[in-house]
Amino acid sequence: GENVEQHPSTLSVQEGDSAVIKCTYSDSASNYFPWYKQELGKRPQLIIDIRSNVGEKKDQRIAVTLNKTAKHFSLHITETQPEDSAVYFCAASGGSYIPTFGRGTSLIVHP
Amino acid sequence: EPEVTQTPSHQVTQMGQEVILRCVPISNHLYFYWYRQILGQKVEFLVSFYNNEISEKSEIFDDQFSVERPDGSNFTLKIRSTKLEDSAMYFCASTGDSQETQYFGPGTRLLVL
């Protein structure tokens, strides 16, 4: 089955800095890669996703890149703000549409 | 914007007891899921449900678990005889036709004593 690795497990940045979270996946058949943000005690919420026919997608301060050859994808957050502090999960899914999640990255943005 | 809802938000039970976790998916969604998240760990898939039957299940979803859609709106997860290691946050999710974007409920925190 699919295996998703996510790094780093914890990321601490100063407000205004950029943050990058990286994930790799194992199943070349995976074609959909969502990113979820989970604030403490809350539900995971989709923040951005990318499909395998696209290399990069941007939505305001967040962007995701995908390298299908290397089987890795990354989340980039620019101009971080304290409210960006949360746990971020990457995921990969293919034909079954069941996402396999990474272990999560705890992002801490210091004011 | 419509959201997935879950009840109860918290459930405390004794080991060996049965629990039923309830979910109301988004009304026009067709695919329903249960996930669990042990404290501090990643979200793990349990089961998916479509057209009134299980479409996929993980190794975690053993004979102690069952799911049901008893009416047109509710989707339930039953754990027959809870174990200590069942303590976790349980999330329900639903998707529409595209099946890609998972919309999660707020979760039920289950504590087995």
DSSP A52-86: TT-SEEEETTEEEEEETTTTEEEEEE-S--GGG-E
Nearest to A6 by CA among A85, A78, A63, A75: A75
Q: What is the per-residue pLDDT for B60? A: 94
Asked if the C-beta of A45 comes within 8 angstroms of chain B's C-beta atoms, the answer is: yes
Q: Among all residues of chain A, which has the CA nearest to that of B99?
A: A97
What is the residue-averaged pLDDT of chain A? Answer: 94
For residue B108, give Cα distances in angstroms to A98, B9, B29, B82. 21, 4, 20, 15
Q: What is the per-residue pLDDT for A95? A: 78
pLDDT by residue (tens digit) across A63-83? 999 999 999 999 999 999 999
Q: Among all residues of chain A, which has the CA nearest to that of B59?
A: A1
Q: Percentage of chain A surpassing pLDDT 90?
A: 86
User: In the structure encoding, which two tokens stand for residue A17, read together?
Assistant: 């800095």
Compute the nearest-CA separation of A71 from chain B (Å). Answer: 19
Q: What confidence category does residue B101 fall into, taking pLDDT thresholds of 50, 70 and 90?
A: confident
Compute the nearest-CA separation of A79 from chain B (Å). Answer: 26
Q: What is the per-residue pLDDT for B3? A: 92
Whole-number CA gyration radius for chain B = 13
Is residue A111 within 8 A of residue A13, CB to CB? The reply is no
Residues of B in contact with A96 (CB under 8 A): 56
Residues in CB range of B113: below 8 A, 6 or more apart: B12, B13, B14, B15, B84
pLDDT by residue (tens digit) across A29-72? 999 999 999 998 889 999 999 998 889 999 999 999 999 999 99
Residues in CB range of B4: below 8 A, 6 or more apart: B23, B24, B25, B26, B92, B93, B94, B103, B104, B105, B106
In one-letter notation, the amino acid at residue A34 is P
Best of B54, B95, B104 to mutate (most A CBs within 10 Å, chain A): B104
Q: What is the per-residue pLDDT for A13? A: 97
Asked if the C-beta of A32 comes within 8 angstroms of chain B's C-beta atoms, the answer is: yes
Q: What confidence category does residue B72 fall into, taking pLDDT thresholds of 50, 70 and 90?
A: confident
Is residue A17 within 8 A of residue A78, CB to CB? The reply is no
